[in-house]
Amino acid sequence: MPTPLPRPAAISPEEYRQRRESLLAKLPSHAALLVPGASLVTRSHDSEYPFRQQSDFYYLTGFQEPDALLVLLPGRGEGQSVVFCQDRDPHLEAWTGRRLGAQGVVSQHGLDQAFENAERDARLPSLLEGRELLYAPLDNPDALGIAKEALAQAQSGMRRGKPPLKGWLDSRPLIHEMRLIKSPAEIALLRHAAAISAQAHVRAMRTCQAGVYEYQLQAELEHTFVWHGASGPAYSTIVGGGANACVLHYIENSDVLEENTLVLIDAGAEFDLYAGDITRTFPVGGRFNDAQRELYHVVLGAQERAVKAIAPGATLADIHQGVVEDLTAGLIEVGLLTGDVQARIDDESYRRFYLHSTSHWLGLDVHDVGTYRLDEATPRPLMPGMVLTVEPGLYIPCDDDIPEAYRGIGIRIEDNVVVTEQGHDILTADVPKQVEDIEKLMANK
């Protein structure tokens, strides 16, 4: 078996503290900010899905237990960052594992104060008393419930001269703007998630042959993720053989792989909650046929030029437009479209074969947070520390007007790229994507 990859350093409590302080500095002095953590989700009867912490909460705390609540209180003398956490309970801990408790949260994660959830109903109103604005994720029912209760408490106290609660605002834009630029420690974790993901894709290429089921390649991928210390896949693994590759979010992975077809794999590992996200497309039998190679080179050329365009000041809108031009020209060259490139772009006939955008942010979420535009008219320029995917594709339907050689071919090539001061760094370069490199790897199983 391969030697597990060496683990990178975890993000330090000091970095989490700096994030909280940066966020506190953005808040008005009489505000409070609430960020609930995730809860366990029942899978069936008395079993739960594997726990995965809420990303914003984790970004600010590094704390991995369920049913927690972070409260940020600018200017509070007893401590500006307070966490409510699960109660210590020896009986439950014997079944589900040790809980840190309030003292452990403070000592291990560097929060100013912590209280167990048994105290939350009694302590939270006093913590929020006098705060005129509450920031909370407005898509979170728990956070909205707390905000509404705080409003009721404030209204009942107005007759006694207490200041009114003026309302609440969405906390997500403040936090998500911070998350868009990754620190060196975050980039190291993303690089590690990409390295694990790359080893998994190489293993799948070496394993693949006609007669193998899609789910068997999925098993090879996810085995590799966990073998190297990842928690598992960062999203539902896609293994689409033949025409299944033309279904963008195909996750059934139930069909047998057939000779003379391609298989598209979109899969990435999650390591310390940071995501890898790689797509490769390769021939089941190890060699591309003429039609497959022709379309593959169209996608590869577009993908390579898009990656080269990544640099500070570039925009995702411009990169996507370049991909659209390259793919449209390629579709005309192979005869799947006719006429002038710009005309086919203007009438959007290329969208029959290319249905999605070229890039998305990557980080704690596989489709990570952060706006793509500064306003409706202005695309956001890339900056060092941003991490994104580059993933053009072509998806050829099995319709009667399509030449038979191209029917049911789906191709996507995706890499993870970090923007640097000098340009960019490809995190996923360890997975072959040149035709000759793929065929050589698959020939030497």
| Active-site residue list | 46, 249, 266, 277, 356, 360, 367, 391, 395, 412, 414
Q: How far is CA 302 from the centre of its chain?
A: 23
Within a 10 A sphere around the Cβ of 106, how many other Cβ atoms? 19
CB-CB contact of 268 with 366 (8 Å): yes
Q: In 3-state terms, what secondary structure has residue 164? A: coil
Tell which phi-psi region holds residue 273, choosing left (phi > 0), alpha (psi between -120 and 50) or beta: left
Structure tokens at 35: 């960020």
Residues 342 and 329: their CA atoms lie apart, in Å, by 9
Burial tier of 30 (Cβ tally within 10 Å: 0-12, 13-18, 19+): middle
Q: Which residues pair with 84 in a beta bridge?
A: 69, 115
Type of residue at 401 = D
Report the distance separating Cα 324 and Cα 300, nearest Å: 13
Tell me the sheet residues that pair with 91: none
Structural contact between residues 124 and 145, judged by C-beta atoms closer than 8 angstroms: no
Six-digit token string for 350: 């290329």
Q: Given the structure tokens 């086919």, which residue do they identify? A: 344
339 burial level (CB within 10 Å; 0-12, 13-18, 19+):
exposed
Across-strand partners of 232? 270
Helix (H) or strand (E) holding 425: strand 424-426
- End-to-end CA distance of the chain: give it in Å, rounded: 15
- DSSP string of 300-348? HHHHHHHHHT-STT-BHHHHHHHHHHHHHHHHHHHTSS-S-HHHHHHTT
